[in-house]
Amino acid sequence: MASPSTLASCARVFKRWKEPALDMLWMDISDLHVLFQLLAPMELDDGTWKFSSAETPLQWDRFDYYAEKLHRFEYKNAEDDGDDEDEDAPPLGISEDTWTTIARVRRHLPLLPKLTFLQWQSIHTTDILLFLSPSLMELKLIIRQFPPQITGHHSFCFGQLLQQCATKSPGLKKFILQTQLNILMVQNELSSFLQSLPGLEMIMLPYFTPRSHQLLTAISHLPNLRRLETLVWSSVIKEIPPIDNTLFDGTFPALTEVDLHTQLDDIQHVLQNPNFPCTLKTLVIRSVPPITSFLLWNMISQVSKLNILKDCSSTSARLHLQLRKCRTTMFLYCSKPYHQ
């Protein structure tokens, strides 16, 4: 792919290449101030971007022209910098006054009508409503915490946010949630959200999610869900709770990939369930201590009887077993479906 400078040069010099070059140049952005500068000049003020003058009229025609070219958008607020070590400098956010101005004088919603991917990392979750659109296919929410003034209202605020996401973007196919919120406190809201999106094909949630039977039930009835992943994201949670292994016949009808972070003795209870999905092609287990030889070989023995290999409709199925905090990574591969 050509560099941004090359694409910009093509757009300026060659009339025939202008639109294709601009489409590529504006397809994916992460610096929101670059987009908002299309409305009016901006300047830095105490680490945030704001409009240089409140008197300057906003150029919505110019903004809309470029906004329709945007398909992927990632936003990270400076106040939510967290502990990321791979970034050279913290991101620069947008001032509250600028958000208020845009929300008040906007021509229409959404601001980015052709957006298909949105990653939002900010404690200010109301601003995301400007970007939710029917075209959105993938949503990634990174919410470390809510602002202090609403600390006691997590459930209400989180529920409102998810309801808006489902209403404004009903065609979501991928949903990723990374949060330090206690999932058990918002399981009602999260369950309702997932149930309202039958088109979901991939879900990634914090690793302590399976403790909630209500949430697991909501996920298991999604007709198009093909990939389910739980991940360790928050260091605040010190222990991994037991997995709820209650599964019923007909659950997870389309599931082909599962990636779980759990303990070996816990996952065995899940694998032993006769209603464990037999449509799986890939099962990834990221085990945490304690890891003993007995647990490991018992796990391998259980895999040999695994229901996912019994009636698998594909020509092959495989199990990838990864041991965390251990130098050994095991790959178990079955070239043909297992039959008793």
pLDDT at 85 (0 to 100): 45
**Nearest Cα to 253, choosing from 224, 231, 230, 214?**
224
Looking at residues 278-290, what average pLDDT do you find?
73
Q: How far is CA 169 from CA 28, 162, 195, 262, 294, in A?
A: 19, 10, 14, 32, 48
pLDDT at 317: 52
pLDDT category of residue 208 using cuts at 50, 70 and 90: low
Rounded to whole angstroms, how far apart are CA atoms 331 and 285? Answer: 11
Distance CA 150, CA 114 (A): 32
pLDDT above 60: residue 310: no
Residue 135: pLDDT band with limits 50, 70, 90: very high
Q: Which residue has the tokens 């906007």?
A: 106
Q: Would you say residue 279 has pLDDT above 60?
A: yes
Percent of the chain with pLDDT over 90: 26
* pLDDT bucket at 339, cuts 50 / 70 / 90: very low
Number of Cβ within a 10 Å radius of residue 219: 23
Q: Which residues of 227-252 are buried (b: 16+ CB within 10 A; e: fewer)?
A: bbbbbebeeeeeebeebbbebeeebb
Provide the pLDDT confidence category of residue 186 given band limits of 50, 70 and 90: confident
Report, as an integer, the average pLDDT of 3-19.
64
DSSP string, 157-226: HHHHHHHHHHHH-TT--EEEEEE-S-GGGSHHHHHHHHHT-TT--EEEEETTGGG-HHHHHHHHT-TT--
Q: Summarize the confidence of residues 41-70 as an average pLDDT.
A: 89
Task: Give the gyration radius of the chain's Cα atoms.
Answer: 23
Place of tokens 């470029």: 66
The neighbouring-strand residues paired with 72 are 28, 117
For residue 244, what pLDDT is reported? 58
Q: Rounded to two decimals, what is the model's pTM?
A: 0.79
Other CB atoms within a 10 A radius of the CB of residue 216 amount to 20
The model's confidence at residue 331, banded by pLDDT at 50, 70 and 90, is very low
